[in-house]
Amino acid sequence: MVNIGLDLLQIFYEVAKLQSITKASEVLFISQPAVSQSIKKLESQLGGTLLIRNNKGITLTEEGKCFYEYVKVAIETIESGTDEFDNFKGLNKGVVRIGISTTLTKLVLVNVLKKFHTQYQKIDIQIYNGLTSNLISKLENGSLDIVIYNSELKSQNSLTSFSHCFVYNPEFYKFKKPISVKELIKNYPLILQDKQSNTRTQLDKFLGVDLKPKMEVVSQELVSVFSSCGLGIGYTINCPLFLNGLKIVPIIEELPKTSIEIMQSKLLTFATRQFIKTIKEEYKSI
């Protein structure tokens, strides 16, 4: 097989398409002698004649016509691929696959998505909700581009942080003075996220006990809902989004804070890089 350079094929393609060495040199921004030399080099490598020069321009030989049809497909395919790559690079095409809990979706992601979509409307966003451990597994096997999660440890990739609190419906419970966490968990029914959640893991670790709540739910939103119903004392992020008329239990101790972290794939698309830049800029300004 003859190893032919792409530059020679590109020159032949333009000459054959335009049927003129002069016009091809203008399109390619190289001199006519350089075009002629390239055609001769290509013919030499192939071991045959591709075109015949005459007063009216050039005429492809039968072999040249056949060769041109194959070169045309190759060059136009490469050009299409280059255009597609430019669309990705110019953020006119692409997808960002985000793994995140339903709680953090509402807490940290919604406003960023609005801003990002306003600027890059042709980028598709795919949201996958689930437990952090499952989402990280998907990130590691290439099914996700980034994972946003909460952690007790703050890193250089931290977006922001929130404190936690115990909440209650004042129609069902009364707290006239601060109470210790140990007294609270001993005397009141608790509504907590399940043991697989990061929030629950951090709380159990902070207290040094394996808590036995009255209710275990899958999200912070449900903690808020059932606390509003008076079913118990909920443990949630100290944020207006999850309070909804609930009161914060006055706790003597300082409760754990949670850091919102972002973990990214090693192979990032142009769209994902821009999304990470957008979300970091959003929380840097807070």
From residue 206, alpha-carbon distances to 66, 181, 193, 203, 257 in Å are 76, 11, 15, 5, 11
**Mean per-residue pLDDT for 178-190?**
92
- Say whether pLDDT at 160 is over 70: yes
Report domain extents, the chain.
6-89, 95-157+260-284, 158-257
Question: Which CATH architecture best describes the domain 95-157+260-284?
Answer: 3-Layer(aba) Sandwich (3.40)
Q: What are phi and psi of 259, to 5 degrees?
A: -100, 135
Q: 254 is written with which tokens?
A: 């300082």
CA–centroid distance for 163 within its chain? 26
Question: Which CATH architecture best describes the domain 6-89?
Answer: Orthogonal Bundle (1.10)
- Say whether pLDDT at 168 is over 50: yes
* pLDDT for res 1: 63
* pTM of structure: 0.76
pLDDT tens for each residue of 84-127:
999 999 999 999 999 998 888 988 899 999 999 999 999 999 99
**Mean per-residue pLDDT for 172-196?**
91
pLDDT > 90 in the chain, percent? 66
Q: 217 is written with which tokens?
A: 């739910």
Confidence of residue 199 (pLDDT cuts 50, 70, 90): confident
- Do domains 6-89 and 158-257 share one topology? The answer is no
Topology (CATH) of 158-257: D-Maltodextrin-Binding Protein; domain 2 (3.40.190)
pLDDT tens for each residue of 49-64:
999 988 777 899 999 9
Residue 128 identity (one-letter amino acid): Y
CA–centroid distance for 56 within its chain? 56
- Say whether pLDDT at 143 is over 80: yes
DSSP assigned state of 28: H
Q: What share of the chain is helix, strand, coil (3-state, %, to 5)?
A: 50, 20, 30
* pLDDT for res 87: 93
* pLDDT for res 286: 42
Confidence of residue 207 (pLDDT cuts 50, 70, 90): confident
